Structure 1
Amino acid sequence: MRLIVHAGFHKTGTSSVQKMLRRNGNRFAREFRVFTHRDLPGLCGAARALSASRDPLDDGLFAMELAEFLTALDTDDPRPVVISSENLAGHMPGRYGLRHYSAAPAIMARFAEFAAECLAAPRITFYFSTRAPEAWLRSCHWQHLCATRMTDDFATYRAAYLPHADLAGDVAAIARAVPAPHDVVSAALDDASGGPLGPLDPLLDVMSPSDALRAALTALPPANTAQPAHVADELLRLNRSDMDADTVHAAKTALLQRGQSG
């Protein structure tokens, strides 16, 4: 069975990819079985937990979730399986004290190991989208401001995380950890942005759909993108305030909605 696993990284166009995979779901279903993080909450949650704890219990939960998914696949279905979720690489750096994707090599190796136990002769291509350090850090900082009570301004955040912002190095470490005959490939978001389907194009190159399917796909605008600097400044102010979590969440939601509509 052929599997294509788009397992990361955060803030490299993954939301846009998944949005287009879902938007074109009926078209893809002719040739592929496609799953995103919405279809695999237990597996993705287990991978994130394992990245933060490295605990044998979380490793066991990851194994259980993965085995449940793999054994439910119809082995008589000839269509390749495509999984797209950046959470399979673990938590985004900046969460739970993590500064890098150092757990990702072990998680991908475990994925390959359990696939060999659950499936007959699986062949996996692990695909990772990457991004230049400066743009990636700025996008990650924006996401943290939106989703957490991060109180670091960008300069402080950059100083702490720039030494670890080497996604190409992370891909190389994953390639060393994943056993043969499986493959690890990557593409930079900066190189993919000019294509007709943006960050989906490199994944399609790995998937190898028919020309007819590729030509029929509907492109969508970028998803989950940052807003202007003054919005980030206001998010930072809210995070640093002494307001309770519910009040901050409501204020952030209203702020982001105004930014999207304006």
Structure 2
Amino acid sequence: MPPRVVVHAGFHKTGTTSIQKALDAHRAVLAPLTIQLGADMRGLCEAARIYSVSRSAFDLGYIRYEAAALAENWQGTLLLSSEDLAGQMPGRRGLSSYDTTPQILAAMTEGFRAARPEIALAFALTTRSAAPWLLSCHMQHLRATRMTLSAEEYAADYAASADLTGVIAKIADALPGIAVQELPLEAETDPLTALLGLVGVPPDKLPAMPHKNRSEPDALRAGLLAINRSDRSDVDARTARKALMRKGRP
């Protein structure tokens, strides 16, 4: 059989942490499947993030190079999983959508096939309903950046970014002849089960999907927003956010 690769390329805040925690904890059980998570392919993930901001031909070549280097070093079936392969999350670095994801995944495909022309390749992307996805993204920005928009303001300003199914359609257009599958977080079959099914893992070998990144209380959201809107320095605001997150309440 030709070597096979399934790439779980995001999106952010769609259960990716839960999927990756389960994959990491069960690497031995899932062998001989080879699993590569973000920490295992830092160069490729970084290349995708950089290109999503720069949009330069040079950085697109960086993606091809990192994908080819990765493809040279494995046999059998490989499962990649990192939301960073979709690029930066909308709301970061001036980005308002995943509009570069099709180009990123097309460049990855070119790199894989340059190194291994016989490769059998497929892509999977987890999705989530618009309202909870926007709320989760907003919370992530509050924790990690100096986000000053309220949840309502963020949802209004970034509503278009929540059309994740539309992005997947554009990915499929950019990758003719390659399977591109949507795995909704709210589907009856959880996305981990669906993802492992794509690489032929039988149901009786599936690990349970843990629940990470649960929704945060409204008081915590309000407290983080108040810190970000304050006149504190960026350093002091970062310290205050970390302290608040440790306490879990304002």
CA drift at 1:70 = 1.6
1:6-45 to 2 correspondences below 5 Å: 6-28=8-30, 30-45=31-46
SS at match of 2:89: coil
* Partner of residue 188, structure 1: 184
Please tell me whether residue 47 in structure 1 is matched to residue 48 in structure 2.
yes
User: Given that residues 63 and 108 in structure 2 are in contact (C-alpha distance below 8 angstroms), is that contact kept between their aligned partners in structure 1?
Assistant: no
SS of the residue corresponding to residue 186 of structure 1 reads strand
Written as runs of structure 1 = structure 2, the 5 A alignment for 1:245-260 is 245-259=234-248
Counterpart of 1:31 in 2: which secondary structure? coil
Shift, 1:256, TM fit: 1.2
Give, in whole Å, the separation in 2 of the partners of 1:211 and 1:136: 28
- In 2, the alpha carbon distance for the partners of 1:15 and 1:23 equals 12
Tell me, what secondary structure is at the counterpart of 2:97?
Answer: coil
| 1:33-57 C-alpha deviation (Å, 9 max, x unpaired) | 0011111111101101101111122
Aligned to 1:60: 61
* Separation (CA, whole Å) in 2 of partners of 1:179 and 1:10: 24
Q: Is residue 213 of structure 1 aligned with residue 225 of structure 2? A: no
> Paired residue for 1:2?
4
Q: Alpha-carbon deviation of 1:259?
A: 1.6
* 8 Å contact kept, 2:19–2:210: no
Tell me the TM-score normalized by structure 1.
Answer: 0.89
Change (3 A) 1:239 1:103: same
Letter in structure 1 aligned against 2:112: A
Q: Which residue of 2 aligns with 1:238?
A: 227
TM (norm. structure 2) is 0.94
1:157 matched to 2:154? The reply is yes
Deviation at 1:211, TM superposition (A): 4.3
Partner of 1:199: 191
Report what 1:138 is aligned to.
135
Q: What is the distance in 2 between the residues matched to 1:10 and 1:224?
A: 11
Shift of 1:200: 1.2
| Aligned: 1:126 with 2:127 | no
- String of CA shifts for 1:54-89, please: whole Å, max 9, x gaps: 11221122222222212222xxx33x1000001101
Q: 1:239·1:248 contact (CA, 8 Å) conserved in 2?
A: yes
The alpha-carbon deviation at position 8 of structure 1 amounts to 0.8
Q: Determine what percentage of the aligned residue pairs are the same residue.
A: 38
2:95 matches 1:98: yes
Q: What's the CA shift for 1:257?
A: 1.6
Letter of the 1:254 partner, please give it. Answer: A
Corresponding residue SS for 1:45: helix
Shift of 1:116: 1.2
Structure 1 segments (4+ residues) deviating >6 Å: none
Gaps of 5+ in 1: none
Take 2:231 and 2:204, find their aligned partners in 1: how far apart are those partners?
56
SS of the residue corresponding to residue 187 of structure 2 reads: helix
Structure 2 residues not aligned, in runs of 5+: none
| Residues matched between the structures, number | 248
Q: Name the residue aligned to 1:112.
A: 109
Q: Is the 8 A contact 1:31 1:209 kept in 2?
A: no
Secondary structure at the aligned position of 1:12 is classed as coil
Could you tell me how far 1:31 is from its partner in structure 2? 2.8
Aligned AA (2:102): P
Aligned 8 A contact 2:33 2:78 in 1: yes
